[in-house]
A and B are shown apart, each in its own frame.
Chain A
Amino acid sequence: MSEFDDLFRENILEHYKHPRNRGTLEDPDYTYEDSNPLCGDRLRMDFRVRDGVIVETRFVGHGCSISQAAASMLSEKLEGMRLEDARRIGRGDVLDMLGIELGPVRLKCALLALKTMKAGLYGINQWPDEAEQPRP
């Protein structure tokens, strides 16, 4: 299936056009902003955590449909999750949520939200599962 068919997958376009949890939090417990300079995708994610549970997530940013839809989907998944469980979310989980396969350039679009989340909550500042990514 081509990337084009994938884009028509209702869930990606639906999240892109009607993003969940778009916005910012007042006095968030964690906040992080990151970008993918190759594409110009930008993302800021805010988190509120109570007793080790992520109770609220908001994101703002701009970029391609995949980067923004991935942020929207991830924000939905995170709500109510324990911090130690959220830490285990990996590249495969994000791709499963999107339901697509992506080439190396657009893979970074898909993973920007996960990278931002990991940096904000755990201080892990690297592309998710870097070792697994094919080298150019």
Chain B
Amino acid sequence: MFREPRERPLIYLDSAATSQKPDAVLDAMDRHYRRCNANIHRGIYAIAEEATAAYEDARRRVARFVGAASPAEVVFTRNATEAINLVAHAWARANLAAGDAVVLTEMEHHANLVPWQLLAADRGVQLRFVPVTDDGELNLDAYRCLLADGRAKLVGVAHISNVLGTVNPVAEIARIARDAGARVLVDASQSVPHLPVDVRALDADFVAFTGHKMLGPTAIGALWAKRELLDAMPPFLGGGEMIREVKLTGSKWNDVPWKFEAGTMPIAEAVGLGAAVDWLECVGMDAVWAHDQEIVAHAYKRIAEVPDVRILGPGPARRGALVAFTLGDIHAHDVATVLDAHGIAVRAGHHCAMPVHERFGVAATVRASFHCYTTHDEIEALVHGLSRAREVFV
């Protein structure tokens, strides 16, 4: 994967932050810019039609990849954060009022917290949080209680926690929400890149994910939502392309999904994401998940053997492709600095999830995260690096 000349070999264990990109993705974007760079949905000339076809073809591939009923259910966004903000603005502001509640969890990424805090401040909507057990699982009994008074109109939950690695029982969470009359938004940023995700099987209403964690480029993500919800929602951003007809004092909106795609979209990035989806389908998502499960089980076992290590989250049996931990009293930044000196890239800090760190009483953790290209040798190098960190600081 890493063929560019470097001073030293790179062991990249930060794929939960962003994955590396295969040649197929880089080539597809390069080809797009060199051969058919034109704006989409506008030009009458040949390369504009080719660019439009490539962009819409990418949408079809993404839709098929996540099991959408139709490509119209997939709205391209900049990332999962923008997809969630789209729901918070276009759907929630039209459907929620003071006195309603949004149920989130203590393990959410800031991307699935802050948009709802802004909504709460703006509309007087109450936020409720499903507690996390000491094992890093959601407390489903407490969750049912949070829905009991019928005020909850939306449940927002991460499919896989980017800190704990917990794989949440999203289908069950969605069923409970539905029984209570609440819609469900799933932040699938850490799941769509790693395991087969079928949005209809999840039975959610909104699913947000991002391209750059699934071997695609940055600045392209997607919101999947049920067609009837998208049709009924007012637009998010206003501008070109999202309209059918504009007069000086008013406009008619375009059909979905274009109603939500204002301005020139990241066309080459969409093409790159389409190529990433092809690449992942070639490998097979069952095979990717099986590899990730084997790697994370091995990593969990080996990291746990290092003295003074405390791993956050559930055991290795069923866990997303990441392990976040503390190493005694050594600060995460110090650990990461020693690992960096050994050519190992890990994340150190709160990983955009401060509340879950507070829940477990730690300011920062070291996080090693993996993808289909991670090898057992790289895990061994990590473990060796952790021993070096102990030698330096203990």
Q: List A residues at the B interface (Cβ < 8 Å).
A: 2-5, 7-8, 13, 16-17, 37-42, 62-66, 105-106, 109
Contacts and interface: CB of A to CB of B under 8 A. Distances in A.
A108 B198 CA distance: 44
A40 B333 CA distance: 10
Interface string B358-393: 000011100000000000000000000000000011
A64 B337 CA distance: 11
Nearest to B331: A64
Contacts of A37: 354
A63 B331 contact: yes
A62 B328 CA distance: 13
Interface string B332-350: 1110011011000000011
A39 B363 CA distance: 7
A28 B340 CA distance: 41
B337 A7 contact: yes
Contacts of B362: 40
A124 to B, nearest CB: 25
A39 B331 contact: yes
Contacts of A38: 349
A71 to B, nearest CB: 13
B335 to A, nearest CB: 9
B73 to A, nearest CB: 37
A65 B349 contact: no
25 contacts: A3-B337, A3-B340, A3-B341, A4-B337, A4-B340, A7-B334, A7-B338, A7-B392, A16-B393, A17-B393, A39-B349, A39-B364, A40-B331, A40-B357, A42-B363, A62-B329, A62-B331, A63-B331, A64-B332, A64-B333, A65-B331, A66-B333, A106-B333, A106-B337, A109-B333
Given A41-B331, A62-B331, 19 more contacts: A2-B341, A3-B337, A3-B340, A3-B341, A4-B337, A4-B341, A5-B341, A7-B338, A7-B392, A8-B392, A13-B393, A16-B393, A39-B331, A40-B349, A40-B350, A40-B364, A64-B332, A65-B331, A65-B334
Interface residues of B, number: 18
Contacts of A13: 392-393
Contacts of A39: 331, 333, 349, 363-364
A7 B337 CA distance: 9
Counting from the closest, the 8 A-B pairs by CB-CB distance are A40-B363, A4-B341, A64-B331, A64-B333, A40-B364, A65-B334, A64-B334, A3-B337
Nearest to A16: B393
A38 B349 CA distance: 7
B364 A65 contact: no
Nearest to A67: B331
Contacts of B392: 7-8, 13
Contacts of B393: 13, 16-17, 65
B41 to A, nearest CB: 35
Interface in B182-229: none
A97 B331 CA distance: 21
A3 B392 CA distance: 13
A17 B330 CA distance: 11
Most buried by A among B333, B354, B363: B333
Nearest to B338: A4
Nearest to B348: A39
Contacts of A106: 333, 337
A64 B340 CA distance: 15
A39 B362 CA distance: 11
Contacts of B334: 7, 64-66
Contacts of B337: 3-4, 7, 106
Contacts of B364: 39-40
A41 B154 CA distance: 36
Nearest to A40: B363
A38 to B, nearest CB: 7
A64 B329 CA distance: 9
A78 B143 CA distance: 54
Contacts of A7: 334, 337-338, 392
Q: Residue among B338, B350, B363, B393 with the most chain A CB within 10 A?
A: B363
A37 to B, nearest CB: 8
Interface string B232-259: 0000000000000000000000000000
Contacts of B332: 64
